[in-house]
Structure 1
Amino acid sequence: MKNPFLLAILIVTSHCLDFNESEFFKSKCGKFTLLRILITKERMYIFLDASCIFYGDLNSTTIGSFPSSCTTICARLGIDNNCDLSKNQLMLVFQNMKHLIGSLILYRTKFTSAKFLRTLESVECGLADFTISYNPKMEEIGMTNLTTIKCSLIDIHGNEELKKLNIPNLNYASPSAENLEANKTGIEINIDSEKYGFCITSVEMYNFINIENVNLKKLGGGICEPGIQPSSGKLCNASHNVDEETEIQDGCTQMFGKVVINPKNVQNVQKLSSVEIIFGVLYIENTNLTTIDFLQNLKYISALGYGYPAITVQNNPYLSNFSFPNLKRIKNNGESSVVFTNNTQEFILDPKYCSFFEDQLGQGGWEKPKFDGNSCYTLIQEANTRPPYKFAKNLDLIIVVLFMSIAQIL
Structure 2
Amino acid sequence: MNTPECKSPENNCTILTNGFKIDGSIGTNISYYQDIQKIKGEINISDSDIQNFTFLKSLESISFSNKRDNEKVVINIRNNSKFNRLGFPKLKELKNTAEGYSIANLENNHPDFCLTLQEMIFFLQNQISFVNLHAKYCEGDYGKIEICHFQNLANLPENCTYIMGDLKIESGDEKYVKKLKNLEYLFGSLIIRKTEFKELKFLGKLKYIAVLEGCPAHKLNSTFLPLFKSCTFLDGGLNITSQSPLSDLSILSNIETIRGKIEISNQNFQNLSFLGNLKKISSEDWMEKGQLYINIRNNPEMRELGLEKLEELQPYRWITLNLESLHPDFCVTLQQMILMLAAPIYFEHFDAKFCDFNENDFSEKLCRFESWATLDSDCVYIYGHISVERGDEENAKKLGSVTHIFGSLSIKDTSLTYLSFLRNLEKMANLNESVPMIEVIDNKNLTEIGMSKLDTTIARGGLPKVVITSTADLFSNTYMCKEFESGTKTNVSYNGRDCDARSRRLGSVPRVSWLFLMSVLFFGFV
Matched with 1:63 is none
Matched with 2:506 is 383
Matched with 1:216 is 347
- Number of residues paired by the alignment? 324
Instruction: Give, in angstroms, the shift of residue 209 of structure 1.
Output: 1.1
Instruction: Choose which of 416, 434, 459 in structure 2 pairs with 1:289.
Output: 416
SS at 1:197's partner residue? coil
The C-alpha deviation readout for 1:364-392, integer Å capped at 9, x for no partner, is xxxx2101101000011222211289x89
Contact 1:301–1:331 (8 Å) recurs in 2: yes
The one-letter code of the counterpart of 2:368 is N
Alignment of 1:120 with 2:268, yes or no, is: no
Alignment of 1:147 with 2:279, yes or no, is: yes
Matched with 1:361 is 488
Alignment of 1:236 with 2:236, yes or no, is: no
Task: Decide whether aligned partners of structure 1 residues 322 and 134 sit closer, same or farther in structure 2, where only a CA change above 3 A counts.
Answer: same
Instruction: Give, in angstroms, the shift of residue 329 of structure 1.
Output: 1.0
Matched with 1:134 is 266
TM-score, normalised via structure 2 length: 0.53
CA distance in 1, matches of 2:427, 2:214: 35
The C-alpha deviation readout for 1:119-158, integer Å capped at 9, x for no partner, is 2210123xxx2211111x2111122321211236121111
Alignment of 1:107 with 2:241, yes or no, is: yes
Matched with 1:65 is none
CA distance in 2, matches of 1:333, 1:272: 24
Task: Decide whether aligned partners of structure 1 residues 22 and 215 sit closer, same or farther in structure 2, where only a CA change above 3 A counts.
Answer: farther
CA distance in 2, matches of 1:98, 1:310: 39
CA distance in 1, matches of 2:281, 2:249: 16
Task: Decide whether aligned partners of structure 1 residues 106 and 77 sit closer, same or farther in structure 2, where only a CA change above 3 A counts.
Answer: farther
Q: Which has the higher helix share?
A: 1
Instruction: Give, in angstroms, the shift of residue 189 of structure 1.
Output: 1.7
Matched with 2:425 is 298
SS at 1:256's partner residue? strand
Task: Decide whether aligned partners of structure 1 residues 273 and 191 sit closer, same or farther in structure 2, where only a CA change above 3 A counts.
Answer: same
Work out which structure has the larger RCO, using CA pairs closer than 8 Å and 6 or more positions apart in sequence: 1
CA distance in 1, matches of 2:421, 2:120: 67
Instruction: Give, in angstroms, the shift of residue 302 of structure 1.
Output: 0.4
Instruction: Give, in angstroms, the shift of residue 45 of structure 1.
Output: 2.6
Contact 1:31–1:51 (8 Å) recurs in 2: no
Alignment of 1:263 with 2:390, yes or no, is: yes
Contact 2:341–2:457 (8 Å) recurs in 1: no
Instruction: Choose which of 374, 392, 396 in structure 1 pairs with 2:497.
Output: 374
SS at 2:501's partner residue? helix
CA distance in 2, matches of 1:74, 1:158: 26
Task: Decide whether aligned partners of structure 1 residues 36 and 207 sit closer, same or farther in structure 2, where only a CA change above 3 A counts.
Answer: closer
Matched with 2:298 is 158
The one-letter code of the counterpart of 2:241 is Y
SS at 2:486's partner residue? helix
Q: Which has the higher Rg, Structure 1 or Structure 2? A: 2
SS at 1:258's partner residue? strand
Instruction: Choose which of 434, 437, 441 in structure 2 pairs with 1:310.
Output: 437
TM-score, normalised via structure 1 length: 0.67
Instruction: Give, in angstroms, the shift of residue 164 of structure 1.
Output: 0.4
Matched with 1:170 is 310
Contact 1:32–1:50 (8 Å) recurs in 2: no
SS at 1:162's partner residue? coil
Matched with 2:215 is 73
Task: Decide whether aligned partners of structure 1 residues 131 and 376 sit closer, same or farther in structure 2, where only a CA change above 3 A counts.
Answer: same
The C-alpha deviation readout for 1:273-299, integer Å capped at 9, x for no partner, is 111111111111222111111111111
Task: Decide whether aligned partners of structure 1 residues 228 and 114 sit closer, same or farther in structure 2, where only a CA change above 3 A counts.
Answer: farther
The one-letter code of the counterpart of 1:356 is E
Contact 1:141–1:167 (8 Å) recurs in 2: yes
Unmatched 5+ stretches in structure 2: 1-84, 88-100, 107-112, 135-211, 285-292, 518-526
Aligned residues with identical type, % of pairs: 22
Matched with 2:153 is none
CA distance in 1, matches of 2:120, 2:445: 79
* Superposition pairs of residues 77-88 of structure 1, within 5 angstroms: 77-78=219-220
SS at 2:237's partner residue? strand
CA distance in 1, matches of 2:381, 2:120: 58
Unmatched 5+ stretches in structure 1: 6-20, 39-43, 55-69, 176-183, 396-410
Instruction: Give, in angstroms, the shift of residue 351 of structure 1.
Output: 3.5
CA distance in 2, matches of 1:112, 1:313: 53
The C-alpha deviation readout for 1:66-117, integer Å capped at 9, x for no partner, is xxxx9952332545xxx599xxxx7x86543221122211113889996553
SS at 2:502's partner residue? helix
Instruction: Give, in angstroms, the shift of residue 161 of structure 1.
Output: 1.1
